[in-house]
């Protein structure tokens, strides 16, 4: 089996092409582009932090440019998407429910996301809650008043919120829509009436292989050590799976200059692979990324492929943070060149860059400054905070 040799920039460009991040879009986004972008990524991770636009909206902006965030909410409410635990909590195309159904049928294997003891202890209340939703329609966590005074934060959930979470993890409830980003829960059969386990459920091995296939398509460029993380699969013999997919023509074997291991490119990128091998596939997109963007959500992959050591620090105590609370990677023309600690002050119309850091070895040039400012202005305009305000900048900026 012959292996095409790729330079590191060419390998990165193939990954960006798979993710829809090779070039800036040439036309204005439409609602259908939101669904197409999510299908291309396979998963869109959900996070609630709103220092800038919440992560799923920002990930889509990086790929689509200016678009209406309401389109994502509408696609969920219309049933084109559903929510479940995939990489983490994610929006997933409806047609991929079949891939994740096994997790719902074995929720005890989901770790902290499901408590067998809680289900046993509160079984009567939980069944009563299911009956209430069945009879009265969808509910939100906030529909239930706390009985014992004020709570102490997320670790002190009222019982009904815990009930809703375990019912969601076990697949008995699904998210029908979000209102002000709050989940609205309904009986699964009402959200997905066409589903029937007896007719539609694939075997465990088939579902796993299909998730590996989806990961390969979304990543574009893969190796055995990267592929399990996308859907948070337990490590198996992933090397054998990739080689089997290559034997079937679904993956194309390549070598990457400077990186160890057997690499593969998804067959849908065959035309781009030919260009990449001739150093003709150039990445031109300049964008600010969410911390939960698929390009950087796997710290090991980001380090190997990009030479970019990225740790999300919003869950780290403030004194121990190196860069800041919600730090956004900066992608310029096929390189992760830096990161910025940002905050959108919506009432004032100000997009604040508290600090901007360049990666070691990145040379400060006029082109880099221009690319950075254009990327920042685009994201600031989309936030409705067009005035850029800068704090700490690299030396010589």
354-390: pLDDT as tens digits: 999 999 999 999 999 999 999 999 999 999 999 999 9
Q: For position 154, what pLDDT does the model report?
A: 36
Residues of the chain with pLDDT > 70: what percent? 96
Tell me the pLDDT tens digit for each residue of 78-122: 999 999 999 999 999 999 999 999 999 999 999 999 999 999 999
Mean pLDDT, residues 23-34: 96
Separation CA 236–CA 213 (nearest Å): 14
Let me know: does 326 contact 349? Beta carbons within 8 Å. no
pLDDT in tens, 238-266: 999 999 999 999 999 999 999 999 999 99
Mean pLDDT on 196-205: 96
Give the whole-angstrom CA distance, residue 239 versus residue 309.
Answer: 25
Whether 267 shows a pLDDT value over 90: the answer reads: yes
pLDDT in tens, 31-51: 999 999 999 999 999 999 999
pLDDT at 147: 56
Q: Assess contact for 253 and 246: CB atoms under 8 A.
A: yes
- 153 pLDDT above the threshold of 50: no
pLDDT tier at 150, thresholds 50, 70, 90: low
Q: How does residue 149 score in pLDDT terms, banded at 50, 70 and 90?
A: low
- pLDDT over threshold 90, residue 1: no
Across the beta sheet with 350-358, what order do the strands follow?
286-288, 327-332, 335-345, 350-358, 387-392
- Mean of the per-residue pLDDT values for the chain? 94
The residues, ordered by sequence, that sit 6+ positions from 198 with a Cβ below 8 Å of its Cβ are: none
DSSP classification of residue 139: B
Specify the DSSP class assigned to residue 389.
Answer: E
pLDDT tens, position by position, 13-22: 999 999 999 9
Helices (H), 260-335: 270-277, 299-306
Mean pLDDT, rounded, for 48-76: 97
- Contact between 265 and 252 under an 8 Å Cβ cutoff? The reply is yes
Between helix 299-306 and helix 8-18 the angle, nearest 10°, is 130
Return the percentage of the chain with pLDDT > 90, whole number: 91
Q: How many angstroms separate the most distant Cα atoms in the chain?
A: 67
What mean pLDDT do residues 204-209 have?
A: 96
Mean pLDDT in residue range 211-219: 98
> Which tops the pLDDT comparison, 315 or 184?
184
Lowest mean pLDDT, pick from 55-64, 71-80, 117-126: 117-126
* Run of H or E residues at 265: strand 263-266
Both tokens assigned to 54 = 């919440």
pLDDT at position 155 is 38
């Amino acid at each position: 089996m012959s292996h095409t040799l790729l330079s590191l920039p060419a390998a990165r460009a193939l990954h960006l092409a798979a993710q829809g991040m090779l070039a800036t879009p040439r036309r204005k986004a439409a609602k259908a582009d939101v669904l197409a972008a999510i299908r291309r990524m396979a998963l869109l991770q959900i996070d609630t932090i709103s220092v800038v636009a919440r992560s799923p909206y920002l990930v889509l902006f990086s790929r689509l440019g200016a678009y209406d965030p309401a389109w994502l909410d509408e696609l969920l409410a219309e049933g084109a998407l559903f929510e479940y635990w995939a990489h983490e909590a994610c929006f997933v195309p409806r047609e991929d429910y079949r891939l994740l159904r096994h997790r719902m049928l074995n929720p005890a294997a989901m770790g902290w996301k499901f408590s067998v003891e809680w289900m046993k202890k509160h079984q009567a209340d939980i069944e009563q809650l299911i009956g209430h939703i069945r009879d009265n329609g969808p509910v939100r966590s906030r529909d239930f008043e706390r009985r014992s005074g004020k709570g102490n934060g997320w670790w002190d959930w009222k019982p009904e919120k815990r009930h809703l979470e375990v019912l969601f993890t076990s697949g008995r409830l699904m998210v029908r829509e979000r209102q002000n980003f709050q989940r609205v829960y309904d009986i699964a059969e009402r959200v997905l009436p066409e589903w029937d386990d007896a007719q539609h459920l694939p075997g465990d091995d088939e579902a796993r292989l299909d998730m590996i296939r989806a990961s390969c398509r979304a990543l574009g460029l893969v190796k055995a050590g990267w592929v399990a993380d996308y859907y948070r699969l337990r490590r198996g013999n992933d090397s054998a799976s990739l080689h089997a997919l290559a034997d079937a023509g679904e993956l194309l074997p390549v070598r990457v200059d400077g990186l160890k291991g057997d690499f593969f490119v998804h067959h849908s990128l065959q035309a781009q692979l030919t260009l990449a091998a001739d150093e003709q596939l150039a990445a031109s997109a300049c964008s600010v990324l969410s911390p939960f963007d698929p390009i950087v959500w796997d710290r090991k992959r980001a380090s190997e492929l990009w030479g970019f050591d990225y740790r999300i620090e919003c869950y780290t105590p403030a004194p121990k943070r190196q860069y800041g609370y919600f730090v956004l990677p900066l992608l310029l023309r096929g390189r992760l060149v830096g990161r910025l600690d940002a905050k959108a002050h919506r009432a004032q119309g100000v997009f604040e860059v508290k600090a901007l850091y360049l990666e070691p070895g990145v040379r400060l040039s006029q082109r880099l400054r221009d690319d950075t400012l254009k990327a920042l202005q685009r994201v600031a305009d989309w936030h409705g905070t067009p005035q850029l305000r800068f704090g700490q900048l690299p030396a010589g900026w």
